[in-house]
Homo-oligomer: A and B are copies of this chain.
């Protein structure tokens, strides 16, 4: 399963771990928020994943994404609640080109090597940042393509959080015993311990905890 160390993928691992012995894959792709990788490690240990692999695949030679370098700033909310305006096409500058396509293809490769059809991804189309590679039509098309492009031919991409609100996801995770203090959402950390509280990802997280009526364990700057 694909694990970034954020709320969604960590909850997805908690769900998958009920039914499977899980192998978790994270990618060090040059993300500004590489802090999430140590969270992924802790989450995978806490949830008893049998293996956590961090793949080095620097993508920071790809220009234009706010997550891939200091050239483009991560948009910040002015009041800590209203998201910063997105570009006209609705895709924010934190978009990383084809990221989930790359990750799903890598996950499919590993699933095939592990001789399983099951691949989990924590994408969600309700409380998300507007990335095209989080939508159901994309996941379905990718499943079809990866079936055709692998030997087994029976890949199943599970996206169990697709239709849940962030609050519902958090409630689910708490029910499953997930400690969200281990997870990391912020795109633009102030330091290794403190989230900015103003990026899109912090806003989704804060609102999710507020709506769920569950205290947010995050340290915000």
Contacts and interface: CB of A to CB of B under 8 A. Distances in A.
Interface stretch (A138-146, A163-171, A179-187): A138-146
A86 to B, nearest CB: 12
A55 B148 CA distance: 25
Interface string A100-121: 1110111011101100000000
Contacts of A63: 113
A89 interface: yes
A151 interface: yes
A149 B142 contact: yes
B141 A148 contact: yes
Interface string A130-167: 00110101100110111011110100000000000000
Q: Which among A63, A95, A133 has the greatest number of chain B C-beta atoms within 10 A? A: A133
Contact of A112 (B55, B97, B112): B97
A221 interface: no
A112 to B, nearest CB: 4
Contacts of A59: 109
Contacts of A106: 98, 102
A125 to B, nearest CB: 12
Given A64-B113, A95-B151, A146 B108 contact: no
A91 B112 CA distance: 13
A104 B148 CA distance: 14
B100 A149 contact: yes
Contact of A145 (B53, B61, B138): B138
Contact of A98 (B133, B138, B146): B146
Nearest to A133: B149
Given A62-B110, A133-B150, A153-B132, A98 B105 contact: yes
Interface of A: 53, 55-59, 61-64, 89, 91, 95-102, 104-106, 108-110, 112-113, 132-133, 135, 137-138, 141-142, 144-146, 148-151, 153
